[in-house]
Amino acid sequence: MDFNGQVTITAPRQKVWEFLTDPHAVSQCAPGLESIKVVAPDEKFEVIAAVGFGTVKVRFVTDVEWTALEPPNRASMKAHGTAPGSAVDVLANMSMTDGEGGSTDMAWSAQVTVSGTITSLASRLMGSVAKKVTAAFFDCVKKKIEG
């Protein structure tokens, strides 16, 4: 599945960059996050998160790695998560430019591949759940940075 979007945050690009590339800061906005552990600063971290698809709730243990960091313009990451009988792989990118009036315009994209038991149980719901989680995440990010 491919997801993408754009968001404008009323804050300078450096402030947005610092928040979005700090695992502990950004984790405040990650729905379903249970824990985060930095394995190597600015390189790798481990996340445990639960995602619900209707009546099915899946808990993923996920290794996340920054594959590119170009402050404060662009970042890319990859993630691989496992749950009993299921797996998820994510490639995500964000790019930021200066917006009007000191704001930051951010474009983001994510390629998500889910395999295993969860695909047969919740395939109809994945797209709508991902959109809901993404909207909640960016609403929180904007409040934390702009607040």
Q: What confidence tier does 108 reach under pLDDT thresholds 50, 70, 90?
A: very high
Question: Which pLDDT tens digit goes with each residue over 16-28?
Answer: 999 999 999 999 9
Question: Which pLDDT tens digit goes with each residue over 55-97?
Answer: 778 899 999 999 999 999 999 999 999 999 999 999 999 999 9
Distances (CA, A) of 145 to 37, 46, 50, 86, 126: 22, 23, 25, 34, 28
Q: What confidence tier does 136 reach under pLDDT thresholds 50, 70, 90?
A: very high
Residue 9 identity: I
This model's pTM is above 0.75: yes
CATH number of 2-146: 3.30.530.20
Q: Quick check: 137 pLDDT over 90?
A: yes
* Rounded Cα–Cα distance for residues 140 and 144 (Å): 6
Rounded percentage of the chain residues whose pLDDT exceeds 90: 77
Name the residue among 86, 4, 20 with its Cα closest to residue 51.
Answer: 86
* Long-range contacts of residues 140-145, Cβ cutoff 8 Å, at least 24 apart: 140/28, 140/29, 141/7, 141/9, 141/19, 141/20, 141/26, 141/29, 142/7, 142/9, 142/10, 144/19, 144/25, 144/28, 144/29, 145/9, 145/11, 145/15, 145/16, 145/19
Find tokens 């619900």 and name the residue.
Answer: 52
Q: Quick check: 131 pLDDT over 90?
A: no
